[in-house]
Structure 1
Amino acid sequence: MYPKQYFQGIATLTGCVIGAGILGIPYVVQKSGFWTGMVVLISLGLAMLLIHIMIGDIAMESKKCSQLVGHARHLLGKKGMILMLVSMVVGIYGAMVAYTIGVGSSLAALLGGSAFVWGMVFYCIMAVIVIGGVSALGNSETWLEGFKYLALILIFVMLFVAPQFSTDNFTGFVPGNLMIPYGVILFSYIGTAAVLELCEEMRNCKKFVRRAIVVGSLIPLIAYVLFTVGIIGVLGKGTTEMATLGITTIFGAKGAILFHIFAILAMATSFIALAFALKEAFWKDLGIPHLASWGLTLIVPLGIITTGVRSFVGTLDTSGAIAGGIVGILVVLMHAKTHKLTSSKGIMYAALIILFGLGMLYQLFG
């Protein structure tokens, strides 16, 4: 019998991982060639599963309750801490901006009005939730996850039974396009911050931690594959940058309501988990007062949004490739420092560093 914390931990991890990214995956997969994109989708999913397991190992072996910034300071020194802090801040700020843009667009499509105004309403509600503690996080994620997955299951049914669904849309493997979907897909899998929250929630049932991490990392992989197959199977070359918006042309405004509800829930759960993790890093790792940490977490993304940033996929791509790549490499280095090196681990460490390094180089110079 699994304890309540086991399911709360899985909900926290999947809640963080399955966010705005899922809505951008079909577009970049179709753009790169269906089979090209699927190779990247599955490969990065397995790579991030390993990263999440490594973070869990680091957290459970540490006596301190820290975010990644604190663990980096302890294991990699001041330079490692600064690099981790910068990458974490850039990645989470980018995610918060993308989620606000996405939710604003979905609410405007559902209810009419300005996407910017709806985005601000969403941002204010999230700000109130984020100021709470870890118990509030676990409870909110569990309830929201339940509704989110119910909506997602119904969406899968709608997509796969739609008369427009065609396997003829599943074509294209171009090795030269492997890096096209890289940033968006990596962004979509990042749950590094939530793994630490999972470990904290499960302090009293440590033997289930790794299992919760594995399940919480595989659920998004399966969901992403099914969602991508469903969307591209229905829309084909008409797949839009934000998948839910293109669905309206097939199912109509009323038929697309469920898709928009799912999008809002997906982005809300991820926003909560990531913003909470950044607030905790400012507070617990850097010693900034709690209220000031909350304000610092929320004021910068708000400023970015008000300057007019509106590119959904562009925000995901940059945040994923750069911030996600740096965090991935630092986690590998931290894990290598705390575990005995074997030939198999050495190969795994090298493969992950090369994977994340190539992604960053492509984003910067490709």
Structure 2
Amino acid sequence: MYKRFLLPVGMLAGAIIGAGVFALPYVLQPFGVLGAALYLGALGAVFALVHLLYADLVLRAPDNLNFVGIARHYLGSFGFVLTLLTGVFQMFFVLLIYLVLSESFFALLGSALAAPGLVAFWLLGSATVFLSARRFAAVEFLITLLLVLIMVFVFALGFRSGSVVLLQPTAPFPWGLAMLAIAPVLFSLAGRVAVAEVVAYFNRAREAAPHIIRAVVWGTLLPAALYFLFVLAVWALSPEVTYDAVTGLRETVSPNTLALLGVLGLLSLWSSYIIVGLNVKNILRDDLRFPPLAAGALVVFMPLALYGAGFTNFLQLVEFTGGTFLAIEGALLIFLWQRANRESDPVLLRRVPGILLLPLYAIFLLALIGVAVGGII
């Protein structure tokens, strides 16, 4: 039970749970309790299917290829360049999102700490880029643990106040906003990298297909359920829900509690910054052949340059990253799975007629359109 289910589910759920959760209370507020549950449930199911498609790709990939290698195998140089560029720019913007969000968590410790705290966070995060590129499982576990603690902590505060049960269970579903909210939710539920780790955990054995399916489905849906509880708690505690979820808590939560929340959040962000920074440095160095020093320097200064260029709105950054890079990645995964079916039969899923995959393509297209028309703010 533990090795075949709980551990792989935790691997995937831990990778999915991230900074995107802090955008969800504001994004989903117009939908009401029932609407938010349906929205997260529907997109959670969509991503569970997309993650299964990718797991199936990894399971069938020749020579144990990764995502970039799979794209090159089926799409040639075009697939190689597209996956590399979208992956690199996506990670640069993820680093920027962590940088911007760190300012909000420092503000929980004291308003005067917000600006200098951001600089300190950047310096500490950047220092790790030039250290060993080895990824430690303990660091990833720390990220998951801290984020889950934050969500449970905030929900406990909301439940203790009694406000959670007073929330309106329904609201008129705002169909006009439905398209615009897709991108932030996509950002919050994406976990492609960890899907490959789950398949590798089972030694890419086709006989383990039932276990892989369960791990991928539950590992994707569990974060969606935790997100829903976190959203309810923030709604209950915040007189006015803010873009980053935590700023609105300052009026209702005690200073000591805010300080604890700020420290937990900063530790989580810093751990995430390390892993993403090392990943993008490795891609620049190993796949794009950047000199090691140049790769490290780019990782260090690109987020700060983007911040200095005016990219400082947390929610807009989450929308842009989810609605462009992750939308392109999701559509590409579906297309690659269809191309792979020309060479071999699926292992985890039966062959699906192309027309039945059109709704998935449509969701990613709507996310792109949502960003193009200006997003939810």
Do both share a fold (TM > 0.5)?
yes
Residue 132 of structure 1: how far off its partner (Å): 3.6
Q: Map 1:237-252 to 2 at 5 A.
A: 238-252=240-254
The reply to whether residue 351 of structure 1 matches residue 359 of structure 2 is yes
Question: Quick one: structure 1 residues 323 and 155, their matched pair in 2 at CA, closer, same or farther if it must change by over 3 Å?
Answer: same
Query: How many residues were matched structurally?
Result: 362
1:309 match: secondary structure? coil
1:157 match: secondary structure? helix
| Counterpart-to-counterpart distance in 1, 2:285 and 2:219 | 26
* Deviations, residues 6-41 of structure 1 (Å, cap 9, x unaligned): 73x555533432222111101011145554444332
Q: Map 1:197-276 to 2 at 5 A.
A: 197-200=197-200, 202=201, 204=203, 207=208, 209-235=212-238, 238-276=240-278
Task: Name the residue aligned to 1:152.
Answer: 151
Task: Name the residue aligned to 2:372.
Answer: 364
Which one-letter code corresponds to 1:191 in the other structure? G
Q: Map 1:176-215 to 2 at 5 A.
A: 176-200=176-200, 202=201, 204=203, 207=208, 209-215=212-218
| Counterpart-to-counterpart distance in 1, 2:123 and 2:356 | 42
| 5+ long unaligned stretches in structure 1 | none
Residue 148 of structure 1: how far off its partner (Å): 3.3
Question: Quick one: structure 1 residues 299 and 211, their matched pair in 2 at CA, closer, same or farther if it must change by over 3 Å?
Answer: farther
Which one-letter code corresponds to 2:61 in the other structure? S
| Counterpart-to-counterpart distance in 1, 2:146 and 2:32 | 32
| Counterpart-to-counterpart distance in 2, 1:315 and 1:244 | 17
* Deviations, residues 274-307 of structure 1 (Å, cap 9, x unaligned): 4344334334443445554444334322321233
Residue 263 of structure 1: how far off its partner (Å): 3.2
Question: Quick one: structure 1 residues 298 and 328, their matched pair in 2 at CA, closer, same or farther if it must change by over 3 Å?
Answer: farther
* Deviations, residues 131-178 of structure 1 (Å, cap 9, x unaligned): 5445x3322112332343234323222112213332237523122221
Which one-letter code corresponds to 2:121 in the other structure? F
Question: Quick one: structure 1 residues 126 and 60, their matched pair in 2 at CA, closer, same or farther if it must change by over 3 Å?
Answer: farther
Contact 1:69–1:285 at 8 Å: present in 2 too?
A: no
| Counterpart-to-counterpart distance in 2, 1:33 and 1:280 | 42
Q: Map 1:38-53 to 2 at 5 A.
A: 38-53=37-52
Contact 2:31–2:171 at 8 Å: present in 1 too?
A: no
Q: Name the stretch that deviates more: 255-264 or 300-309.
A: 255-264
The reply to whether residue 173 of structure 1 matches residue 181 of structure 2 is no
| 5+ long unaligned stretches in structure 2 | none
1:251 match: secondary structure? coil
Q: Map 1:1-366 to 2 at 5 A.
A: 2-3=2-3, 7=7, 10-31=9-30, 33-64=32-63, 66-111=65-110, 113-129=112-128, 131-134=131-134, 136-165=135-164, 166-168=166-168, 170-200=170-200, 202=201, 204=203, 207=208, 209-235=212-238, 238-288=240-290, 292-339=294-341, 340=345, 344=352, 346-365=354-373
* Deviations, residues 213-256 of structure 1 (Å, cap 9, x unaligned): 333322211111111122223336x2111111111211232233
| Counterpart-to-counterpart distance in 2, 1:283 and 1:317 | 28
Question: Quick one: structure 1 residues 4 and 54, their matched pair in 2 at CA, closer, same or farther if it must change by over 3 Å?
Answer: closer
Work out the percentage of aligned pairs sharing the same amino acid.
Answer: 25
Q: Which has the larger radius of gyration?
A: 2
**What is the root-mean-square deviation of aligned Cα atoms in Å?**
3.0
Contact 2:155–2:232 at 8 Å: present in 1 too?
A: no
Which one-letter code corresponds to 2:15 in the other structure? C
Contact 2:238–2:248 at 8 Å: present in 1 too?
A: yes
Q: Name the stretch that deviates more: 149-158 or 321-330.
A: 149-158
User: Structure 2 length as normaliser, TM-score?
Assistant: 0.83
| Counterpart-to-counterpart distance in 2, 1:205 and 1:344 | 22
Question: Quick one: structure 1 residues 112 and 248, their matched pair in 2 at CA, closer, same or farther if it must change by over 3 Å?
Answer: closer
Question: Quick one: structure 1 residues 171 and 268, their matched pair in 2 at CA, closer, same or farther if it must change by over 3 Å?
Answer: farther
Contact 1:15–1:270 at 8 Å: present in 2 too?
A: no
| Counterpart-to-counterpart distance in 1, 2:195 and 2:286 | 16
2:334 match: secondary structure? helix
User: Structure 1 length as normaliser, TM-score?
Assistant: 0.85
Contact 1:16–1:270 at 8 Å: present in 2 too?
A: no
| Counterpart-to-counterpart distance in 1, 2:181 and 2:271 | 23
Question: Quick one: structure 1 residues 308 and 129, their matched pair in 2 at CA, closer, same or farther if it must change by over 3 Å?
Answer: same
* Deviations, residues 94-132 of structure 1 (Å, cap 9, x unaligned): 221111111122023215544233223223333455554
| Counterpart-to-counterpart distance in 2, 1:195 and 1:183 | 20
Contact 2:189–2:223 at 8 Å: present in 1 too?
A: yes
